[in-house]
Amino acid sequence: MNGVVIHPTAVVDPGAKLGMGVTIGPYAVIGERVEVGDQTQILHHATISGFTRIGRECKIFPFSSLGTDPQDVTFKGEPTTVEIGDHNIIREFNTINRGTVKGGGVTRIGSHNYFMAYVHVAHDCQIGSRVIMTNGATLAGHVVVEDAAVVGAFSSVHQFVRIGKHAYIGGYSIVLQDILPFARVSQKRESFSLYGPNSIGMMRSGFSRATIESVKEVFRTIFHTDLNTSQAVQRITEEMGDQEEARAIVDFIAKSKRGILKKFVTDE
């Protein structure tokens, strides 16, 4: 069957759709409405249920649970979904819940992401591509994580929070407000603060020094002037509106519903 390999102890519903070269390990459980893309590996004791679609060349590690019902008391068994892209690595004991009707009905994850052990992605989250979530990171419902962001170990992100692209969140953080694109934030004891642009992460992603300096200038305008947020956005638009990264930050602020984190320290 298209090179599919299913261990004799695995339980695979006949209604599941498996692509070419899929492998299913011992004691894995695959539900009736699950779709798995070509060359994806599902290791032993993983469970995939509900209306769940997984792309090609992913690797699902033991004891992960994907596509289960959302942890939402208003959920009434509606046919909501989980959509996972290509080339994702989902390590041990991950839990990814499907969406709710009130939240759009889809928990969506892009491609080339790395989710380390014990990560939780709640209902209706929207995660981009090249995101890293480290051990024990937890997203509440309706969270948005944009491309290439990093969520540190044992960090918890509040419902409806948005994390901008290339942002870095240090371990053990409690995130209650939106985090700007390219920002570097961390929590020490009871203080959660922004430490400036994620310059090292940007360099690793191939951004030029000039681009990094322009992002630093945007941050200076927002955090190190007497301007309020609206005034800072206006100045950035007037002076740097032709720069892609500046526009990304301005657009992010415009869409913020929970407000952006503004507690700033000059250094760690």
Catalytic residues: 123-124, 141
> Residue with structure tokens 């000039």?
210
* Token reading at 10: 């695995």
Structural contact between residues 161 and 175, judged by C-beta atoms closer than 8 angstroms = yes
Cα–Cα separations (whole angstroms), residue 268 to 74, 130, 153, 195, 218: 42, 26, 18, 7, 20
CB atoms within 10 A of CB 1: 8
Pairing, β 183-188 against β 191-197: antiparallel
| Cβ pair 40, 22 in contact under 8 A | yes
- CB 216, CB 177: distance < 8 Å: no
Q: Are 80 and 141 in contact (CB under 8 A)?
A: no
* Dist. CA 160–CA 144, nearest whole Å: 7
Instruction: Tell me if 35 sits within 8 A of 51, measured CB to CB.
Output: no
